[in-house]
Amino acid sequence: MVRSSDVRKTPTPGEWSQSLAPSGIGDRLHAFAAEIFPICRSITGNGVRETLSHIERIIPLERTEVATGTPVLDWAVPKEWTIRDAWIKNAAGERVVDFRACSLHVLNYSTPIRTRMSLQELKKNIFTLPEEPDLIPYRTSYYQERWGFCMTHNALQTLPEGEYEVCVDADLAPGSLSYAEHVHVGERDEEVLLQAHICHPSLANDNCSGIALLAHLAAAMHGLGTKYTYRFLFAPGTIGAITWLSRNYETSRRIKHGIVMSCVGDAGGPTYKRTWRGNSMIDRVMAHVLTHETLTANIVDFFPYGYDERQYNSPGFRLDVGLFQRSQFATFPEYHTSADNLDFIKPAHLEASMRMAAQAIEVLECDARYASTAPQGEPQLGRRGLYSAIGGDKDGYAKNMAMLWVMNMADGRHSLLDIAERAKLPFATVAGMAEALKESGLLVPA
């Protein structure tokens, strides 16, 4: 297992965000998304491996290959798809549809074919979006073997009657499914699972953005001391998570909190989809972070459709794993089309998403219970220099209120997150004041 355990320092409350999501990181995330955008990924095949190689330039990975046909939970690992080229040529021999121009043009996981046919016949294997005639749809056919192409409806309309030559130069054959992990070792065996799916071809928000965020978050964690162990999992959607779970039951028992990340680069949301349990720690953490960071947080209840949170939350696992996105999947017109491109995701949104992920980690890392050493009546804070320490501070009022709330609720039973929720103050403000109060001797760990 690849483990980065050469731990150096633990950020104090308020420092995590800057440590894990420094300002300017959005440009790097966007550049990385642009790097992996052209690769034609699928649930299996070299597109996935190539993507993992790009991630490996940022963080070490442990890769796993699982052979086609291997039983995984109620499924089996599918065949490996190798795509080399795909095109439709007109009578003059010109490519009127060209995979080299956009990986969405081939039906993802298409069987190979090379033949000639009339336009009429060809149309049976072409997918378009008549209601969005300038966009190429993203379509897959994983579990029913067939061939096909995707193109804009307008381009299809311009094709004259006649004979066409079609070619999908691909193999669909026994091989393996690839996934990869990076583990940041903390003080505890208890784990936080962070996962991104790596099976979509040239789609920027869904999910080059999630891959970029997770890889850079793992890199930023290098050298930080954490309580939890963090497992970063890069796996194809559905079948990848199922394959990982089928081989990691013991590990899964150590997962205490988790977040699936996808579509984290657009302007919408942010959206958090709760775990099946609905009131787990990660649900509270994400709701707190998103509502304090933005005025537009969309917190939705669990439903058994979406990304891999549905595998983790299935009855045989019931892991507390939620889903973090900007716009919720399938609710934006660019979703699963060629409009989900590199212009659709912006460095500023990627950076804000990474900051929210960093803040969630901060809450998980810094949440604690304290007991007041002067619980009877209000302690005299001025005598201890606690008020003057924050004089002239623009956040002075919030810090004063945080201090009063912490002293009021430091009964050994309430955690800093409990206090932040009750006080309606950002966690970092509350946790930062708790640090100061601890140093003054007014608080002791409960």
Q: Which residue ranges make up the site for Zn ion (CB under 5 A)?
A: 206
Q: By C-alpha distance, which of 170, 178, 58, 173 is closest to 103?
A: 170
Choice between 16 and 344, CB closer to Zn ion: 344
Choice between 195 and 280, CB closer to Zn ion: 195
> Cβ 238 to Zn ion, closest distance in Å?
10
> Cβ 340 to Zn ion, closest distance in Å?
9
Choice between 59 and 211, CB closer to Zn ion: 211
> Cβ 202 to Zn ion, closest distance in Å?
12
Choice between 135 and 289, CB closer to Zn ion: 135
Cα dihedral: 341, 346, 351, 357 (round 10): -40
Long-range pairs for 65-69: beta carbons < 8 A, 24 or more residues apart: 65/176, 65/177, 65/178, 66/176, 66/177, 66/179, 66/243, 66/247, 67/174, 67/175, 67/176, 68/44, 68/173, 68/174, 68/175, 68/176, 68/177, 69/174
> Cβ 208 to Zn ion, closest distance in Å?
12
Closest-approach residue to Zn ion (CB): 206
> Cβ 199 to Zn ion, closest distance in Å?
8
Choice between 206 and 309, CB closer to Zn ion: 206
Burial zone of 354 (CB within 10 Å; 0-12 exposed, 13-18 middle, 19+ buried): buried
> Cβ 196 to Zn ion, closest distance in Å?
12
> Cβ 350 to Zn ion, closest distance in Å?
18
Choice between 337 and 415, CB closer to Zn ion: 337
Choice between 148 and 306, CB closer to Zn ion: 306
